[in-house]
Amino acid sequence: MLLPPASLLAIAPLLEISPHQLEVAETLIQVGRFVVIFLVARAIAELLVRLQLPTILGELVAGVLIGVSGLHLIVPPDTQAQLAAGVTSLVGSLAGIAPEAVSEVYNETFPSLQAVSQLGLFALLFLTGLESELDELVAVGLQASTVAVAGVVLPFAMGTAGLYFLFHVPLIPAVFAGAAMTATSIGITASVFGELKWLKRKEGQIVIGAAVLDDIIGIVILAVVVAIVGGGAFSLGPVLKLCLAAVAFVAVALVLSRTAAPSFDWVVDRLKAPGDVAVASFLVLTVCCFAAQAIGLEAALGAFAAGLILSASKHTHDIDAAVKPLVALFATVFFVLIGTGLDLSVLNPLDPANREGLVVAAFLLAVSIAGKVAAGWSYLSKEPTNRLVVGLGMMPRGEVGLIFLGLGSQAGILTPALEAAILLMVIGTTFLAPILLRLVIPREPGETTTVVADQPA
Amino acid sequence: MLLPPASLLAIAPLLEISPHQLEVAETLIQVGRFVVIFLVARAIAELLVRLQLPTILGELVAGVLIGVSGLHLIVPPDTQAQLAAGVTSLVGSLAGIAPEAVSEVYNETFPSLQAVSQLGLFALLFLTGLESELDELVAVGLQASTVAVAGVVLPFAMGTAGLYFLFHVPLIPAVFAGAAMTATSIGITASVFGELKWLKRKEGQIVIGAAVLDDIIGIVILAVVVAIVGGGAFSLGPVLKLCLAAVAFVAVALVLSRTAAPSFDWVVDRLKAPGDVAVASFLVLTVCCFAAQAIGLEAALGAFAAGLILSASKHTHDIDAAVKPLVALFATVFFVLIGTGLDLSVLNPLDPANREGLVVAAFLLAVSIAGKVAAGWSYLSKEPTNRLVVGLGMMPRGEVGLIFLGLGSQAGILTPALEAAILLMVIGTTFLAPILLRLVIPREPGETTTVVADQPA
């Protein structure tokens, strides 16, 4: 449709094709990538829902299936993998150009798919902030805080120290892998607790409160770690400065959520042009991202902070409705892209060269489970609570773990073996948590089916 | 956040900056552009709503204000214009790089803003198709068809012939400018008729029916004209083939809207993963875009056809809710970008070199008004109807005219003078139509204020 950008047009003469052929090939590739991503991701998600497993894993599995470990339909250029021959010859014959030229156009246009995936990540973090129920956190304040802090410190310390001292992984990737184990995925736990009717019990309250705080701590760690990686060095002064800046940034956002949200509502109430809530929220989002990046933090932290600020707005419901389709579409692209870049051949146990990688993966999984379960014994309570349920509830890593994996992988600081180990850790904890919780929590008699299966078809 | 794409990383050494500085500069620029676009577009849209003028014009005016004819905050690289010094020095000092490097990063990252604007265009055309009330068209079938066809043929023929014979514009730009005058913007007319309570009268029915058909004809013309421009030549055989393909494509979409929509509903009803309707519609959208491009038509026609197909779904309301935020966000980027690229200095009447351009602009505006008003006298009716109201109702060009302008401008086939003339034609017809209609339609006694002003503040 639009003429391809100048940087792409510049390669047309080199490939000996006309601008029109280039445009046709570009559109077919750009649109075709979306078709493949959504078709496969959706099919697997539907399967997982029916197995009562978290759909986020479906997007990852879809990525692995169509990526460099699978069908080679979506191949990030930095993996140096070849696009499937079927794709190059189909697009080549439709656009009337040579298959080699198709690969070239494919690689040149990949950044715009990454731009869409980044929009999805920002939308997802914004939504996470928006749906943070800060009041729930306050209600179980002290106990949830203890669980959250213990659940962050234990896996991070054990993971980083183990990788650095036992497996001699360099410090920066070790810190990164350790950090990837910190944040609990609130969505998966909440849905299992809801399904088993334990959400309103003391254990459910503590877990949800801790997971909210955990998200905040995890994203602060992410902002700091990625900034450290960007700087390349690991000296104490700048790291402390970054930590302080990140904590201050989130603290300001929390204060603003109590003070600025009414002003936001005041402005939105006075807007009359159509689409006002969506655009006004997007403006808050972009301004926060700009502010975060301007003071040396990650723009992603800004997206989360924007969500926190608006979580106290009375228009939360409308904002939510506007953001959810964006997340459904574009965050899917983000998670699928993570899967496409993963080289799972490093996990093949038959190859002796992979033994160490498999041991690292097993170690990370063990630490990530032990660290969170142990956090269940970290709080004081007068009434008896099921500490194992709390610990298991904190276990699934899901989205935030995957965000670490995606960013670390794209920044090129993780070896393929470490990437695969983090992937196994995320998948393992996220798959195991609902299964173990269902075993540990006794189902009440009289209940026949689960919430998901109860939904009208 | 994400490491910049390889094509961008390649320029880092040339600019003597580190990958981290590049990443910071990239994020600041990408996010900052959104802040500027939405802040200005929204402010002007709010102003126009209060003046009871169409907000679409606000996005255009915002683009002109911040673009190459204004503050130079958003400058498309192909215009060769310089970015405002304030921007380069602000971003340069925040990222710690030289102002020249900022301009370089700005230009290299512009394609991802264009990718977002293209998503917006597709979402807008999809929504246009989705909201097409085909039943209304059938109700006033013959009369609406006559008005639609006359309203397409008259401005197209007069405009193209006038430009070619009177002003010696080459054939392809003349055809393009003529085509830009064909499609009525349904939204603006519908809101004025609704406001004046004439929507359910015979005149309103004819105009809405004709505008629906008009949209279809206009987008078919767009698909054909852009394909011709892409091919570079203008020979009868391929043009006829393209016309046939486009008409067949829309015909198939219309048939599918009656037959395939129930199957779509059947599938959606069986989906259980979250975000199902949004993702399922997006899949239909991308598949249609791919199909259109694969048979040599524009992907945009596919987006519109996808909307037509789903317009008969029982989930239209949910799809609508999912697409509207996308349109509010990304179509705004599309329209603002059109404005940013326009060089309005060619309209300065004090410069004698501009005289001819101004005459062309006046000619296009006159023909575009006369052609549509004349269409009001083209239908047969037993009962007396106000033909002037029908003609004026068909006048506003709005979105579709701007889409022509945006595509023609990006394809580089329009001279600055012709671009400005099309812009004036779109703005003129869209501003004048509601004003003239209010003068011609007698306001019923007892009504005090308009619909817009009646909305709660």
Structure tokens at A325: 């389709």
Round to whole Å and give the CA distance between A111 and B7.
9
Task: Tally Cβ neighbours within 10 Å of residue B268.
Answer: 18
B450 touches chain A (CB under 8 A): no
Task: Tally Cβ neighbours within 10 Å of residue B166.
Answer: 11
Q: Which long-range contacts (CB under 8 A, 24 or more apart) does A72-77 make?
A: A73/A36, A74/A33, A74/A36, A74/A37, A74/A336, A74/A337, A74/A340, A75/A106, A75/A340, A76/A110, A76/A337, A76/A340, A76/A341, A77/A106, A77/A107, A77/A110, A77/B6
Number of H helices, E strands in chain B: 21, 0
pLDDT score, position B431: 79
Domain identity same for B222 and B92: no
Domain membership of residue A455 (yes or no) is: no
Domain identity same for A75 and A179: no
Answer whether A272 sits within 8 Å of B94, measured CB to CB: no
B232 touches chain A (CB under 8 A): yes
pLDDT score, position A443: 63
A344-390, pLDDT tens digit by residue?
Answer: 887 788 888 788 888 888 999 999 999 999 998 888 877 788 889 89
pLDDT score, position A60: 83
Point out the domain boundary residue: B80, B115, B150: B115
Domain identity same for A173 and A98: no
B323-367, pLDDT tens digit by residue?
Answer: 988 888 888 898 898 888 888 887 788 888 788 888 888 999 999
State the residue for tokens 């310089």: B82
Round to whole Å and give the CA distance between B262 and B198.
34
Domain identity same for A148 and A196: yes
Instruction: Grade residue B429 by pLDDT with cuts at 50, 70 and 90.
Output: confident
Instruction: Grade residue B430 by pLDDT with cuts at 50, 70 and 90.
Output: confident
Partner-chain residue, chosen from A28, A46, A412, that has the shortest CB–CB distance to B273: A46
Examine the pLDDT at A310 and tell me if it is beyond 60.
Answer: yes
Examine the pLDDT at A287 and tell me if it is beyond 90.
Answer: yes
Domain identity same for B82 and B155: no
**Radius of gyration of chain B, Cα coordinates, nearest whole angstrom:** 23
pLDDT score, position B454: 38
Domain identity same for A273 and A390: yes
Residue A64 dihedral angles phi and psi, to the nearest 5°: -60, -40
Q: Which of A56-70, A178-192, B36-50, B220-234 has the lowest mean pLDDT?
A: B220-234
Examine the pLDDT at B250 and tell me if it is beyond 80.
Answer: yes
More confident residue, A296 or B279: B279
Cβ B413 vs Cβ B171: under 8 Å: no
Examine the pLDDT at B447 and tell me if it is beyond 60.
Answer: no
Domain membership of residue B1 (yes or no) is: no
Round to whole Å and give the CA distance between A453 and A455.
5
Answer whether A48 sits within 8 Å of B273, measured CB to CB: yes
More confident residue, A238 or A395: A395
The complex's ipTM works out to: 0.80
Task: Report the residue of chain B nearest A328, measured CA to CA.
Answer: B275
Which whole-number Å values give the CA distances from B279 to A112, B275, B328, in the listed order? 19, 6, 18
Average pLDDT, chain B: 82
Task: Report the residue of chain B nearest A45, measured CA to CA.
Answer: B273
pLDDT score, position B403: 79
Report the run of H or E that residue B60 belongs to, with start and end: helix B56-66
Domain identity same for B109 and B152: no
Answer whether B226 sits within 8 Å of A24, measured CB to CB: no
- Secondary structure string (H, E, C) spanning A244-256: HHHHHHHHHHHHH
Instruction: Grade residue A4 by pLDDT with cuts at 50, 70 and 90.
Output: low
State the residue for tokens 């032990």: A370
Domain identity same for B92 and B181: no
Domain membership of residue A343 (yes or no) is: no
Number of domains in chain B: 2
pLDDT score, position A224: 79
* Across B77-99, average pLDDT: 88
Domain membership of residue B283 (yes or no) is: yes
Cβ contacts (< 8 Å) between B299 and chain A: which residues?
A: 1, 27, 31
A266 touches chain B (CB under 8 A): no
Task: Report the residue of chain B nearest A50, measured CA to CA.
Answer: B272
Task: Tally Cβ neighbours within 10 Å of residue B252.
Answer: 15
Answer whether B324 sits within 8 Å of A278, measured CB to CB: yes
- Residue-range definition of the domain harbouring residue B17: 6-115
Average pLDDT, chain A: 82
The beta strands (E) that lie in B172-240 are given as none
Domain membership of residue B227 (yes or no) is: yes
Q: How far apart are the first and last CA of chain B?
A: 39
pLDDT score, position A14: 67
Interior angle at CA A116, CA A115 and CA A117, nearest 5: 90
Cβ B324 vs Cβ B127: under 8 Å: yes
Interior angle at CA B239, CA B238 and CA B244, nearest 5: 95
Interior angle at CA B319, CA A265 and CA B289, nearest 5: 120
Pseudo-torsion of CA B364, B367, B373, B377, nearest 10°?
A: -160
Domain identity same for B265 and B346: yes
Report the run of H or E that residue A225 belongs to, with start and end: helix A202-231
Cβ contacts (< 8 Å) between B24 and chain A: which residues?
A: 230, 293, 296
| Residue A402, Ramachandran bin (φ over 0: left; ψ between -120 and 50: alpha; else beta) | alpha
What lies within 8 Å, CB to CB, of B221 at 6+ separation is: B152, B156, B179, B182, B183
Nearest to B306 by CA among B321, B324, B319, B318: B319
Point out the domain boundary residue: A115, A138, A164: A115
Instruction: Grade residue A136 by pLDDT with cuts at 50, 70 and 90.
Output: low
DSSP A277-301: HHHHHHHHHHHHHHHHHHTTS-HHH
CA dihedral over B87, B88, B89, B95, signed as positive or negative: positive
A322 touches chain B (CB under 8 A): yes
Domain identity same for B215 and B189: yes
* Across B53-72, average pLDDT: 86
Which whole-number Å values give the CA distances from B96 to A103, A295, B16, B24, in the listed order? 36, 12, 11, 9
Q: Which long-range contacts (CB under 8 A, 24 or more apart) does A251-256 make?
A: A252/A305, A253/A129, A253/A288, A253/A305, A253/A306, A253/A308, A253/A309, A254/A134, A254/A308, A256/A309
Point out the domain boundary residue: A86, A115, A144: A115
Domain membership of residue A243 (yes or no) is: yes
Partner-chain residue, chosen from A24, A278, A412, that has the shortest CB–CB distance to B325: A278
Q: Which of A226-230, A436-440, B210-214 has the lowest mean pLDDT?
A: A226-230
Which whole-number Å values give the CA distances from B452 to A184, B48, B216, in the listed order? 47, 11, 29
Report the residue of B2, B7, B29 to disrupt the A interface, i.e. the one with the largest count of A CBs within 10 Å: B2
Q: Which of B30-34, B383-387, B399-403 has the lowest mean pLDDT?
A: B399-403
Domain membership of residue A406 (yes or no) is: yes
| Residue A108, Ramachandran bin (φ over 0: left; ψ between -120 and 50: alpha; else beta) | alpha
What lies within 8 Å, CB to CB, of B126 at 6+ separation is: B281, B285, B303, B304, B306, B307, B323
Examine the pLDDT at B19 and tell me if it is beyond 80.
Answer: no
pLDDT score, position A62: 93
pLDDT score, position B230: 67
pLDDT score, position B4: 52
* Across B175-201, average pLDDT: 79
Task: Report the residue of chain A nearest B326, measured CA to CA.
Answer: A326
**Amino acid present at A125:** L
Cβ contacts (< 8 Å) between B406 and chain A: which residues?
A: 2
More confident residue, A116 or B18: A116
Domain membership of residue A340 (yes or no) is: no
Report the run of H or E that residue B138 belongs to, with start and end: helix B134-139
The CATH number of residue A437's host domain is: 1.20.1530.20
Q: How far apart are the first and last CA of chain A?
A: 39
pLDDT score, position A2: 42
**Amino acid present at B404:** F
* Across A307-332, average pLDDT: 89
B293-305, pLDDT tens digit by residue?
Answer: 888 777 888 888 8
* Across A416-422, average pLDDT: 87
pLDDT score, position B2: 42
Cβ B49 vs Cβ A286: under 8 Å: no
Cβ contacts (< 8 Å) between A406 and chain B: which residues?
A: 2
Cβ contacts (< 8 Å) between A299 and chain B: which residues?
A: 1, 27, 31
Domain identity same for A428 and A289: yes
Domain identity same for A201 and A286: yes
Instruction: Grade residue A233 by pLDDT with cuts at 50, 70 and 90.
Output: low
More confident residue, B373 or B222: B373
Cβ contacts (< 8 Å) between B39 and chain A: which residues?
A: 283
Nearest to B405 by CA among B338, B318, B354: B338
Cβ contacts (< 8 Å) between A78 and chain B: which residues?
A: 6
What whole-number percentage of chain A has pLDDT above 70?
A: 90
* Burial tier of A449 (Cβ tally within 10 Å: 0-12, 13-18, 19+): exposed
